[in-house]
Homo-oligomer: A and B are copies of this chain.
């Protein structure tokens, strides 16, 4: 295995790029900025990654991979199981990839970033799962508010981790996306 010789520089580049992209955005961070943070030259960056876009892709790829895995798990579940799995899985994923979240998330709306194929449809399925596959418009909106709200809060919260934030987020999600929101009639 060549994996023994872990490339320090490459890892450093990914780490610093994640930090800077999260702080100032993709367009707001230049290769020069990253090079200074890492302590190398711009040419070195472009030796390890073919382009700035490629660096972004490499950075976000693991997060997207895991998001796809979660999406796959959801496909085998339905109703309450899907909702619970979606909430826990998504909160966990966002907390572990907090620095990448901004990037993935921005690629959805602000087209500031190269898109990831199929991510839109995946996001919609996640919304559906969060909404418990309800047909009520208000449940759809609730799901979207919570989904995006979780992302933003985690991003803002910085790197101060802890089990508390995780619990708070799942609690909040459960509050909005509760099984029986309507005491009136059934759909």
Residues of A within 8 A of B (CB): 23-25, 27-28, 102, 106, 108-112, 137-138, 141-142, 144-153, 155-156, 164-165, 167-169, 171-172, 175-176, 178, 181, 183, 185-186
Tell me whether B145 and A172 are in contact (CB under 8 A). yes
CA distance A145 to B152 in the complex (A): 7
- Complex copy number for this chain: 2
Give the Cβ gap from A83 to chain B, nearest Cβ, in Å: 15
Tell me whether A155 and B109 are in contact (CB under 8 A). yes
Instruction: Using CB atoms, name the residue of chain B closest to A150.
Output: B145
CA distance A146 to B185 in the complex (A): 21
Q: Which of B111, B152, B164, B181 contacts A149 (CB 8 A)?
A: B152
Tell me whether A145 and B141 are in contact (CB under 8 A). no
Tell me whether A181 and B176 are in contact (CB under 8 A). no
CA distance A144 to B146 in the complex (A): 10
Instruction: Using CB atoms, name the residue of chain B closest to A181.
Output: B175
Tell me whether B111 and A23 are in contact (CB under 8 A). yes
CA distance A23 to B185 in the complex (A): 40
Give the Cβ gap from A42 to chain B, nearest Cβ, in Å: 19
